[in-house]
Amino acid sequence: MATMTYRDALNAALREEMQRDEDVFLMGEEVAEYDGAYKVSRGLLAEFGPKRVVDTPISELGFTGIGVGAAMVGLRPIVEVMTFNFALLALDQIVNGAAKIRYMSGGQIGCPIVIRGPGGAALQLAAQHSQAFESWYAHIPGLTVVMPATPADAKGLLKSSIRSDDPVIFIEGEMLYNVKGEVPDEEYLIPIGKADVKREGGDATIICHSKTVTPALRAAETLAADGIQAEVIDLRTIRPLDTEAILASVAKTHRVVVAEEGWGFAGVGAEVVDVIQREAFDELDAPVIRVHQADVPMPYNKHLERAAKADAPKIVAAVRRVCYRD
């Protein structure tokens, strides 16, 4: 196994899939000559040329729509959004277009597109640049929403997403790009819709995804020192949700905390809690508690920002509460 960054793992997935399938191309702002705003597409222009690695103007609605159109007639576009804050401008083409084409056409036309880029907050980027939108996309039937937390998951899931015949929203993290991890040397795919147990434990379950996986694991360490063994479930895919994995862990620990980066209201955690209360009500020994961003736009000031974000101490406190150990 090689150790590589999340960024390089994504880069490898792009390269392998572009080598494998002539119909796969990458399009977005600064993806070609600049090697990507976050350098995820480094070297791809040199290898594949400007036909397949396409720089666009700042025209999110337009180039996403062009990607949707190209996908409708059989190409396999990967549209990079510089961040998902800017994908808001493309939402019409994603929600009214990509997500519904197959259904509206009675199954005649598919839309095998991947829309990818970093989501969520970095550091002190303030209100317009620090937003986690996964629940918005997960709300839409027809879309698949993938959010890997580790380099190995990033590579295997991006490859599966590119091969998917349906539109995939693939949300990365600016703060994840430099994260290092082991990645198998041989080719592999990770199936969409499968959660992963990132740490086993019998006392409580922490359900998380993307950027909350690291703080959840850190929280589990802290809790272990206190005799609480937390199980950490990384959803990896938000839609479809791996309810089986969620319910299996609930049946084991009977206590659950759901952590996510974004806002609580109508968030991913709300959906997870709904599944648990419907399917595993009798298994619960305590109400499920959610950890998420404060219900405010992200402030610029670093102390306020820290207070607003979901982090390991907040997850620790929540787990203690569900264990009645606070």
Partner 1 sequence: MPTSSPSKSTPKRSASSPPFASEYRDWLRMMVLIRRFEEKAGEAYSLGQIGGFCHLYIGQEALGVGSISALAPDDYVVSAYREHGLALARGMAPRAVMAELFGKATGCSKGKGGSMHLFDTSINFMGGHGIVGGQIPLGAGFAFAAKYRGTSQVSLTFFGDAAANIGSFHETLNMAGLWKLPCVFVIENNGYGMGTAIARAAAISDLWQRAASYGMPGVEVDGQDVVAVRLVTEEAVARAREGDGPTLIEARTFRYVGHSMSDAASGTYRSKEELEASRQRDPIVLFEEKLRGLGLIADGDIKAIEDEVAAVVADAVQFADASPDPDPSELTTDVYAPEGGR
Ligand X SMILES: Cc1ncc(C[n+]2csc(CCOP(=O)(O)OP(=O)(O)O)c2C)c(N)n1
Active site includes 60?
yes
What would the two tokens of residue 25 be?
A: 């191309």
Site for partner 1 in 270-299 (CB under 8 A): 294-297, 299
**Helix residue ranges per DSSP H, the chain:** 6-20, 44-48, 60-72, 91, 101-104, 134-138, 151-163, 213-224, 243-253, 268-279, 302-308, 312-322
Residue 66 or 284: which CB sits closer to ligand X? 66
Q: Is residue 86 at the binding interface for ligand X, with CB under 6 A as the rule? A: yes
Q: Is residue 80 at the binding interface for ligand X, with CB under 6 A as the rule? A: no
Cα Rg of the chain (Å, integer): 19
Contact 283, 250 (CB under 8 A): yes
Residue 82 or 319: which CB sits closer to ligand X? 82
Give me the residue label for tokens 């390991």.
Answer: 312
Q: Is residue 35 at the binding interface for ligand X, with CB under 6 A as the rule? A: no
Q: Is residue 89 at the binding interface for ligand X, with CB under 6 A as the rule? A: yes
Residue 11 or 164: which CB sits closer to partner 1? 11
Q: Which strand (E) or helix (H) includes residue 198?
A: strand 196-199
- How far apart (Å, rounded) are the C-alpha atoms in residues 109 and 105? 6
Give me the residue label for tokens 């080719």.
Answer: 187
Residue among 41, 15, 262, 3 nearest 147 (CA): 262
Q: Is residue 188 at the binding interface for partner 1, with CB under 8 A as the rule? A: no
Instruction: From the list ligand X, partner 1, none, pick the one residue 185 interacts with, judged by a Cβ distance below 5 to 8 Å according to partner type.
Output: none
Give me the residue label for tokens 């009214």.
Answer: 96
Active site includes 30?
no
- How far apart (Å, rounded) are the C-alpha atoms in residues 279 and 269? 15
Residue among 263, 256, 264 nearest 323 (CA): 256
Which listed range, 40-48, 82-90, 102-110, 241-249, lies at the site for ligand X (CB under 6 A)? 82-90
Among 2, 126, 251, 266, binds partner 1 (CB under 8 A): 126
Among 128, 139, 178, 188, binds partner 1 (CB under 8 A): 128
Catalytic: which of 17, 22, 47, 129?
129
Residue 16 or 55: which CB sits closer to partner 1? 55
Nearest-approach distance from CB 34 to ligand X, in angstroms = 10
Site for ligand X in 5-34 (CB under 6 A): 29
Nearest-approach distance from CB 82 to ligand X, in angstroms = 5
Q: Dihedral of the CA atoms 163, 169, 174, 180 (nearest 10)?
A: -40
How many CB atoms within 10 Å of residue 73? 7
Instruction: From the list ligand X, partner 1, none, pick the one residue 307 interacts with, judged by a Cβ distance below 5 to 8 Å according to partner type.
Output: partner 1
Binding residues vs ligand X (CB under 6 A): 29, 58, 60, 82, 86, 89
Active site residues per annotation: 60, 129
Binding residues vs partner 1 (CB under 8 A): 29-30, 33-34, 37, 55-62, 85-86, 88-89, 123-129, 294-297, 299-304, 307-308
